[in-house]
Amino acid sequence: MAEIQKQELTSMNITEEQLQKLKQLFPEAFTEGFKVDWEKLKLTLGEAIDTGKERYGINWPGKSECFKTIQQPSIATLIPARDESVDFDKTENLFIEGDNLEVLKLLQKSYLGKIKFMYFDPPYNTGSDFIYPDNYSESLDTYLEYTGQVDADGKKFGTNTDTDGRFHSKWINMMYPRLFLAKNILSTNGVLFISIDDNELYNLKAVLDEIFGAENFIANISRVAKTTSFRGNHFAPSKDYILCYAKNRVELENFKDDVDSDQFKKIETEGPRKGEFYRDDIAFYLTTLETRPNQRYFITCPDGQKVIPPGSTFPPERPIDGDGVWRWNYDSFKEKEHLIVFKKTNRSPLIDENGKQANWNIYTKSYLKEKLESGNLPRDIFEGFLNRNGTEDLKKLQIPFSFPKPVSLLKYLMKISGVTDYDIVLDIFAGSGTSGNAVMDLNYENSSKIKFICVQIPEFNDEKSEAFTKGFKTITDIGKERLKRVAEKLKEAIEIKNKKKESQLNFESKNIIEAQPDLGFKVFKLSKSNFKIWDSTLEKEPEVIQAKLFEHIQHISPEAEQEAILYELLLKSGFELTTPIEKLTLAGLTVFSIAEGQLLICLEKELTHDCIKAMAEMQPTRVICLDEGFKGENADALKTNAVQIMKSKGVVNFRTV
């Protein structure tokens, strides 16, 4: 009998994925059984191998356990929650409730290399509790107990206080696996921004240098968080930081900030650029020759006088502090000669070849049109994105929440990073949903189509808090309600705009009425798999194994709903959770068509020859059916025929579950 492959029900195997990458680079270093021959790998790499015991890098108690955590596949799933979603069938935005480590594992197959922009605002580790698990015995079962999805004794889900002997280590143990897995799903031209304060800045940068590579560090941005601060021991803390890393710095596009058009007041009066606005700037600045040795040379003026910026050793009779250098090296200067402006003056700071004051000053032109295209480089000190701005954002929505980041900060980071249509924004510490709010605002303001994935553990609010008394039991309740209220406000704004336009337009011009952006979001919740997956950690006692075998006779959970099973198979087959799904009827049975027929899923419990044939004739890339769909005396024959029918139509990936 022809064998049908079984559909994998775990998340992506990280170890196998890393080995595949290694094999692509060094196939000669692999032996039978997909094992690495370290001696051959050492020979291949030669002197690049570091065999010393003492190495530069970060180390801490629990580091080896971090890698075990990363390598352990998830057997969980994400269950759709239609009743808590907005526009479930059409939206491409996601709000996921769950421990972000498990969620990241589940997203590996579907979103590998697809996320353009990440912003994380993790717990700052200030001495208060954070509830992410740091004990490696804590697992999906612990999470289900914490959230009340299974019976438990009200188990606390992991804490960290400054009285703990491994205060910093526990925080790093929490962060490292999440950042490692996040990097996998970042696109090659993607960027990560992560907020932090002084408590863990050093450790976080060291961890990011190890995971992303120090060569992919972009900036350490200082953000002015408060303009008034009265607490502190020696200084009043007023700032925090945002570390920025690229997946691959070479692939990262230049950041672009806004250009102040008011600075371009001059108008070209002649030549091919007549009528265009420009500004001119002095063509040199002061630095040291150690940093810019190739930018100090003589330039010949229109009357033949050769000039150079003043320097610490030239002219000798009036040395200055530092050396003047031109804005470009000589080759770049020759390319930009058409942008150079010579102005005669008796007050020139430049020096001629004899060390005397020059008769000319030199400026460089920049035109508004080109500057708008290239943009300004953003500064690494952020002002105007204060903590109180974030509080004001939520006050306008009448939602209580402490210390949210301002929406304006997220919008600015996305804007300078060039986030655009169909890019995906990921936030795994979503809190009150600031990132999702920012994406909705940008899509409304720019008619863009950016998508978001917000992940937040349903941390319980204090029962004495204002949020709890207003009906927000968990932080995820706050996030979902915030996004709903933001969507309603934007819908109202669009409606007002369109009514105003309609009153000014004739019937034929209705096509310029403003369309509504995607203001919905699908809610998914982390849960145990809909399928009973064999636990390899079971005790090896015969009676324990026998009991489990009996449980696996019916391997689909009796509580599992068809849509939940469908999305689990979708996710574990490597399709995004927003992939279009079409419900078909083939030979009288229900079949789900995924991504315009690339994958067909049939969850019927009594398959027929005609249905199998109908699916094969659609020539999908993959087909998944329930194993229990092959029933009765002819079950084996039907399986054999199914494999042959699929092969005859070119369907080589036919699996059961």
Q: Give tens-digit pLDDT for 77-90.
A: 999 999 999 999 99
- Whole-model pTM: value is 0.85
Phi, psi angle pair for 272, to nearest 5°:
-65, -15
Amino acid 323: pLDDT:
84
Amino acid 130: pLDDT:
63
Question: Element (H or E) spanning 440, and its range?
Answer: helix 434-446
Amino acid 184: pLDDT:
96
Mean predicted confidence (pLDDT) in 274-283: 88
Mean predicted confidence (pLDDT) in 122-143: 70
* Per-residue model confidence as pLDDT tens digits over 162-219: 656 577 888 999 999 999 999 999 999 999 999 999 989 999 999 999 999 999 999 9
Assess whether pLDDT exceeds 70 at residue 329: yes
Amino acid 253: pLDDT:
87
The span from the CA of 328 to the CA of 476, in Å, is 52
Which of 230-244, 280-294, 564-578 is predicted most confidently?
A: 564-578
Assess whether pLDDT exceeds 70 at residue 454: yes
Closest CA to 340 of 284, 392, 297: 284
Assess whether pLDDT exceeds 70 at residue 340: yes
Q: How many CA atoms lie within 13 A of 352 on its CB side?
A: 12
Assess whether pLDDT exceeds 60 at residue 93: yes
In sequence order, what are the residues at sequence separation of 6 or more whose Cβ sits closer than 8 angstroms to the Cβ of residue 328?
Answer: 295, 336
* Per-residue model confidence as pLDDT tens digits over 368-392: 988 888 888 899 999 999 999 999 9
* Per-residue model confidence as pLDDT tens digits over 403-413: 899 999 999 99
- pLDDT band for 506, please (50, 70, 90 cuts): low
Amino acid 580: pLDDT:
94
Amino acid 362: pLDDT:
94
Amino acid 153: pLDDT:
57
Assess whether pLDDT exceeds 50 at residue 337: yes
Amino acid 519: pLDDT:
97
Assess whether pLDDT exceeds 60 at residue 553: no
- pLDDT band for 128, please (50, 70, 90 cuts): low
Assess whether pLDDT exceeds 80 at residue 304: yes
Lowest mean pLDDT among 239-248, 345-354, 556-565: 556-565
Mean predicted confidence (pLDDT) in 431-452: 97
Amino acid 616: pLDDT:
96
Assess whether pLDDT exceeds 60 at residue 152: no
Kindly write down the DSSP assignment for every residue of 372-392, as one continuous string.
HHH-BPPPSEE-S--HHHHHH
Terminal Cα distance for the chain, rounded = 18
Amino acid 642: pLDDT:
94
CB atoms within 10 A of CB 405: 26
Mean predicted confidence (pLDDT) in 533-562: 63
What secondary structure letter does DSSP report for 243?
A: E
The span from the CA of 371 to the CA of 283, in Å, is 17
Q: Express as a percent the part of the chain with pLDDT over 90.
A: 58
Name the 3-class secondary structure at 340.
strand
Kindly write down the DSSP assignment for every residue of 265-315, as one continuous string.
-EE--SSTTTT-EEEEEESEEEE-TTT-GGG---EE-TTS-EEE---SSSS
Tell me which of 624 and 124 has the higher pLDDT. 624
Name the CATH superfamily housing domain 81-258+378-512.
Vaccinia Virus protein VP39 (3.40.50.150)
Q: How far is CA 140 from CA 311, 373, 550, in A?
A: 66, 49, 23
| Contact between 412 and 438 (Cβ < 8 Å) | no
Assess whether pLDDT exceeds 50 at residue 1: no
- pLDDT band for 555, please (50, 70, 90 cuts): low
Amino acid 16: pLDDT:
84
For the chain, give the mean pLDDT.
88
Reported residue count of the chain is 657
Tell me which of 285 and 225 has the higher pLDDT. 225
Tell me which of 523 and 375 has the higher pLDDT. 523
Domain ranges in the chain with CATH number 3.40.50.150: 81-258+378-512
Question: Exposure of 102 by Cβ count < 10 A (0-12 exposed, 13-18 middle, 19+ buried)?
Answer: buried
Lowest mean pLDDT among 133-137, 207-211, 439-443, 607-611: 133-137
Phi, psi angle pair for 19, to nearest 5°:
-65, -40
Assess whether pLDDT exceeds 80 at residue 123: yes
- pLDDT band for 40, please (50, 70, 90 cuts): confident
Amino acid 9: pLDDT:
82
